[in-house]
Amino acid sequence: MEHLFDQDWEIVPAGGATGEAFFAQYQEQRLFLKRNSSPFVAVLSAEGIVPKLVWTKRMENGDVITAQHWLNGRELKPEEMKDERVARLLNKIHSSKPLSTMLERLGKEPFQPEHMLTEVETGLEFDLLSLPVIREALSFLQKELMEVQQDEYVVCHGDVNHNNWLLSDYNQLYLIDWDGAMIADPAFDVGLLLYWYIPEDQWESWLTQYGAELTDNLKLRMKWYVVAQTILSIQWHKGKARFHEMNHWIQYLHKVI
């Protein structure tokens, strides 16, 4: 990465699971660099959803490096997820034609409920299947599969955790870390956000800000995706031997189901 810049630039890893992200700084110039980031970043930048893309360079070895403005800012706190700006930005993402067009050009197919159910069923280990709450949750997913089918598929972020919402020092809100972007039911994003952060008696008012009505069908779809995602989280943490987190999500599943 260093050979992209004059020797005066300081470049340090930005952390993260992939090890492909870096911070670069020279005097007052600061950039966030990523290796082999998706072309999707350019559209996200143009839509004002992520910090501005400054340049893209293809290296001799075929790697593509993107540079974005590195902004001073902070993650949203859990209680700030109720902010109307969160609802508006999520609606902007879900309504964006340029975003959906780009994902389709990149070959993304709609992530149907049956795809997620297959992912859940094939990933579950036998000892987890022995837990009554897992069996009950799996039965719910299978029973309601046909009821959660619908025609509206949009660009979904896939991980609307408060850690992925960046509020800049200029009070601009962004949603970052788009590696898991998909074309899916908007209930995938909305359900996780509401279940994790918004008291149920405030769902209707939050959805009004987002631009949707709290129907029985939307409630069912949100619950379906939250249950499925929770089972996947339980299995993932178990596979990483993170048993404290695994037990946390098992207890959470008791509350949801």
Of residues 85, 250, 52, the one with CA closest to residue 167: 85
Q: Which residues pair with 64 in a beta bridge?
A: 58
216 catalytic, yes or no?
no
The residue from 63, 127, 151, 159 that is catalytic is: 159
| Dihedral (CA of 240, 245, 123, 195) sign | negative
| CA pair distance 226, 116, nearest whole angstrom | 11
| CA pair distance 30, 51, nearest whole angstrom | 12
CA 153 to chain centre: 16
Q: What residues are annotated to the active site?
A: 159
